[in-house]
Amino acid sequence: MAACLYVSVPEWQERPRSRSLLLVPPVLAFICAYIMMGFVTPENREPWLLRSALVAGLALGLVRGFFLRADVDNYGLARLPGARDGMLVTLVIAAAMAIAIFAPLVAAPASAWVPYATSLAGLGATYLSGRAVVVYLRTRS
């Protein structure tokens, strides 16, 4: 998750960066969400929740990607002014991952929160993916 946060910093600062680097944070977020799925015990799994979170995140990300302003300079570097939503989503994924790791250690009943945290991380990962793919496709020359 630290790598995802680190790679997302230039976007948050609205600095120009390569369009292909827009696709790196979603991949790292998906890795985090996949790892979090391993923390869910079989009796606490709620596949409908995870599936609906993935679909909702993808739909929201695609819509946001269409409405996100992207400036491309002469060198092909993209700048996303006003794209603070990526920072919020990445921080939510980090918080969900912390909950999934530490909640079962604090109290046994808190392990029931892990499927919800995993679904939240999946929602965030698909949101970032949909948004990044649409921005990448829109800014192609």
pLDDT digits (tens, 9 = 90+) for 27-55: 998 888 888 887 777 777 788 988 999 99
Phi first, then psi: give them for residue 18, nearest 5 degrees: -60, 140
Could you tell me the two tokens for 58? 């993808």
Domain count across the chain: 1
Q: What percent of the chain has pLDDT over 70?
A: 99
pLDDT at 131: 92
The enclosing H or E element of 71 equals strand 71-72
| pTM attached to this predicted model | 0.89
Contact, 125 vs 27, CB < 8 A? no
Phi first, then psi: give them for residue 24, nearest 5 degrees: -75, -50
pLDDT at 129: 93
Distance CA 65, CA 136 (A): 9
Could you give the strand order of the β-sheet that contains 77-79, starting from the edge strand earlier in sequence? 17-18, 77-79, 71-72
- Domain of residue 128, residue span: 2-138
Cβ-in-10-Å burial (0-12, 13-18, 19+) of 125 comes to buried
pLDDT at 1: 79
